Structures are given as C-alpha cells and as structure tokens.
Amino acid sequence: MADFKTIGIVGAGQMGNGIAHVCALAGYDVILNDLSQDALEHGLATIETNMTRQVSRELLSVEDMKTALHRIQTTTEYAPFGSIDLAIEAATENREIKEKIFASLCGVVPDHTILATNTSSISVTRLASTTDRPERFIGLHFMNPVPLMNLMEIIRGLATDQATYEAALALAKRLGKTITNAEDYPAFIVNRILMPMINEAVYALYEGVGSVESIDTALHLGANHPMGPLTLADFIGLDTCLSIMQVLHDGLADTKYRPCPLLVKYVEAGWLGRKAGRGFYDYRGDTPVPTR
Ligand code: NAD
C-alpha cells in the first residue's frame, strides 16, 4: 500500500482540527469538512493559534507553519473528497451521525480509499458494516489535544484487512504517534477505563461527597493525575462523556456503567465543558469558576 497523499477529515471540532494540524505538519494534504463555514473557520483559527504557540516555544519554524497551513483546504461539501486516500471521521459521538457521514463518503471517495473513525466508543465493526468496504475500515482513536498527546489507539473491526492495519501503522509512524491495539468492544481500552472513573467523580459530586474543587484536588494531588476528573471531563466535552457512558451501558449491560443523572443534567443544559464556555467550571471569565 503506497503512502497516503491526501487525507479528508470530517468534523473540524476539537479532535478534527487537531488531526488536521498534525497531518498537515507531517506533509499530508488535508481537506477539512464540517457542517458550516463558521465551524470550519473556528477549526482553522484553532489550528493557527496552536501552531503559533508551537512557534513561540521553538518547536516549529514560521516557514513550516505557513507551509502546513497552506496544505489545509476547508469545505462544507463532500465533492472535494473525490481525490482522497484516507478519510478520518471526527464528528460528534453519535452512531446515526457517523453512519450518515460514511454513507455520503462511500458515494464520492475512490475505491482504494481507507475509511477511519475517531470514535471514542462506538463499534468499529458496526460502522464498517454500513459501508461498501468493511475490509478497508479501521478505528483510529487519537487523544485530545492531538498535537500534544502521543497515543493513537488502533481498533480493527471484524473485517479489517492486514493492508489497512499496516497503512494505519505507517500513518501513526509518520505522525510520530505511539500506538496501542485494542479489540473492538465498547469504548475500547482508554475510555473503558477512563470514563467510568470520570462518571464516578460526577456521582461523588451528585451525592455530595465533595465539591467540584475538592474532587479535582483529591485526584490531582492524591492520585498524581495531571488534572482532576471534572476538569478532564470539561476538556473532553460532557456530551462526549455521556455518549461514551451510554455506549458502555448499552453494550455491556452492566449497571456499573449507568451514566450519572447529574452528567445528563449538564448535557441537557448545554453546559458541555470548555468548548461551550461552561461545564463543571465556568470558563467565561479570566479564571475557571466551579459551577457547584
Ligand atoms: P466536537 O463537538 O468538538 O466537534 C464535533 C464536530 O463535528 C463539530 O464541529 C460538528 O459541527 C461536527 N459535525 C457534526 N455532524 C457533522 C456532519 N454530519 N458532518 C460534518 N461535521 C459534523 O467533538 P470532538 O471532541 O472533536 O469529538 C469528535 C469525535 O472524536 C467524537 O467521535 C469523539 O468521541 C472523538 N474523540 C473525542 C475526544 C475528546 O477528548 N474530546 C478524544 C478522542 C476522540
């Protein structure tokens, strides 16, 4: 399998723009797609801000930043995906949304194109089965923030072929990511372990065991985690956290994965974390203020 030249990315949110960032820096041509021009502009602005930060830390030259930014094209259409070698879907964590995206992609991408999903939890095998190429379909679970986090979790669906897996390994190598292999079960490895901990932290808040700050301080200093679980939940996005818990609960049918009603309430309020300006903390001022 020849190396990819052009990568199409669907979703320009936190993950999609991070994936576009690292792919462009690694020399791939990138086509970034989202539903609206606003989302694309926001995604591109984030990439520029994050690359500028890398320049100020002398991790990147101004020249390389300019070259990388030139490699990124944006679109609200699928037609420009007619020339891509790899599609990475990084849209909202919702099975129906992802299945519709893959149906649209199958109509436009060339036969050789590999389809990948960045889902945190949804069955890769099931998404693959809705496409015309389950053997060229794979889960590439990048971590947030993509430019900083070294890991890429690779999930093969039941039908994924060896050539597709090897192409994923080559991509990871060129992006400088370390890989871990996970079997295709709900939420794979990272979120099978991480998300129940976050959900438990929300239960601790719900039951009044501690305040937002005391729970975060306890795990930050007491378990030496780089940040507390509620800060982390806000960073991931509470809608994404809830979707992952629902996939775990439905897929493993064990009450230990029951999403905390307080997490549901925050999502119902639209308090989705950092990306919405408010979650377990309010980010609209100079410093984050706990909301409980
Ligand atoms: P996000 O909410 O920041 O971004 C999602 C983007 O998808 C939005 O810009 C939205 O407009 C776009 N979108 C929705 N439907 C679309 C469609 N039909 N076509 C094109 N774009 C569409 O979410 P995110 O945090 O970037 O998460 C995206 C994916 O990455 C999810 O599957 C999530 O589980 C996964 N993921 C998230 C994290 C994390 O920490 N947030 C980490 C790893 C993987």
The predicted model gives 71-90 an average pLDDT of 98
pLDDT over 70, % of the chain: 99
Contact predicate 196/168, CB 8 Å = no
Tokens (6 digits) for 248:
């775990």
The predicted model gives 212-240 an average pLDDT of 98
Looking up tokens 């964590």 gives 93
- The pLDDT assigned to 2 comes to 61
Instruction: Count other C-beta atoms under 10 Å from residue 95's C-beta.
Output: 16
CA–centroid distance, residue 207 to ligand 1 (Å): 30
Distance of CA 254 to the CA centre of its chain: 25
Q: What is the DSSP letter of 290?
A: E
What atom of ligand 1 comes closest to residue 239's alpha carbon?
A: 2
Given a cut of 70, whether residue 1 has pLDDT beyond it is no
Tokens (6 digits) for 32:
């970034």
Instruction: Quickly state the pLDDT bin for 205 (edges 50, 70, 90).
Output: very high
Q: What is the pLDDT of residues 118-150, one digit of tens each?
A: 999 999 999 999 999 999 999 999 999 999 999
Instruction: Convert 139-177 to b/e letters by CB count within 10 Å (16 or more is b).
Output: bbbbbbbbbeeeebbbbbbebbbeebeebbeebbeebeb
Q: Mapping DSSP to helix (H, G, I), strand (E, B) and coil, where does residue 85 land?
A: coil
Question: Of these residues, 118, 141, 199, 243, which one is catalytic?
Answer: 141
Report which of 34, 188, 190, 78 is spatially closest to residue 124, judged by C-alpha positions.
188
CA–centroid distance, residue 99 to ligand 1 (Å): 14
Residue 242 to residues 22, 76, 142, 238, 247, Cα–Cα distance (Å): 27, 27, 19, 6, 9
Given a cut of 70, whether residue 265 has pLDDT beyond it is yes
Residue 77 sits at φ, ψ, to 5 deg, of -105, 170
- The pLDDT assigned to 3 comes to 83
- The pLDDT assigned to 117 comes to 98
CA dist., res. 178 & res. 48, Å (int)? 25
Contact predicate 270/238, CB 8 Å = no
State the CATH class of domain 192-290: mainly alpha
Q: Which long-range contacts (CB under 8 A, 24 or more apart) does 271-276 make?
A: 271/238, 272/237, 272/238, 272/239, 273/233, 273/234, 273/235, 273/236, 273/237, 273/238, 274/234, 274/235, 274/237, 275/13, 275/14, 275/237
The predicted model gives 182-202 an average pLDDT of 98
The domains of the chain are located at 6-182, 192-290
Question: Of these residues, 118, 120, 123, 243, which one is catalytic?
Answer: 120
- The pLDDT assigned to 154 comes to 98
Superfamily of domain 6-182: NAD(P)-binding Rossmann-like Domain (3.40.50.720)
Whether ligand 1 lies within 6 angstroms of the CB of 125 is answered as no
Instruction: Quickly state the pLDDT bin for 259 (edges 50, 70, 90).
Output: very high
The predicted model gives 156-165 an average pLDDT of 98
CA–centroid distance, residue 288 to ligand 1 (Å): 23
Residue 158 sits at φ, ψ, to 5 deg, of -55, -35
The predicted model gives 181-204 an average pLDDT of 98
Whether ligand 1 lies within 6 angstroms of the CB of 97 is answered as yes
Whether ligand 1 lies within 6 angstroms of the CB of 237 is answered as yes
pTM of the model: 0.96
CA–centroid distance, residue 23 to ligand 1 (Å): 17
